């Protein structure tokens, strides 16, 4: 984003926040991305929405009693 938006605007313009908001909308809703095989980011969000747990579902399913202390070193953690 730094390389695409900032060189195109006057940094002292009073409406720079509006320009950034407009550019971000274009970037996420209209512009096709090669890394997303021609889709826009919002297309990907909509595609995955039904498979993505929201905060309520995650917090309802969380049980602290089932959590275990993880050891940072993988070999030790898997041994325990």
pLDDT digits (tens, 9 = 90+) for 24-37: 999 999 999 999 99
Judge whether 11 and 5 are in contact, CB under 8 Å.
Answer: no
**Statement: residue 49 has pLDDT above 80:** yes
pTM (two decimals): 0.57
The answer on pLDDT for 3 being more than 80 is: no
Give the span between the Cα atoms of 41 and 43, in whole angstroms: 5
- As a whole number, the mean pLDDT across the chain is 89
């Amino acid at each position: 984003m730094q390389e695409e938006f900032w060189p195109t605007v006057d940094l002292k313009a009073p409406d720079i926040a509006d320009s950034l908001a407009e550019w971000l909308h274009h970037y996420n809703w209209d512009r096709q991305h090669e890394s997303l095989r021609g889709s826009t980011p919002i297309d990907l969000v909509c595609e995955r929405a039904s498979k993505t747990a929201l905060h309520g579902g995650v917090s309802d399913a969380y049980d602290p009693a089932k959590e275990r202390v993880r050891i940072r070193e993988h070999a030790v953690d898997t041994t325990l």
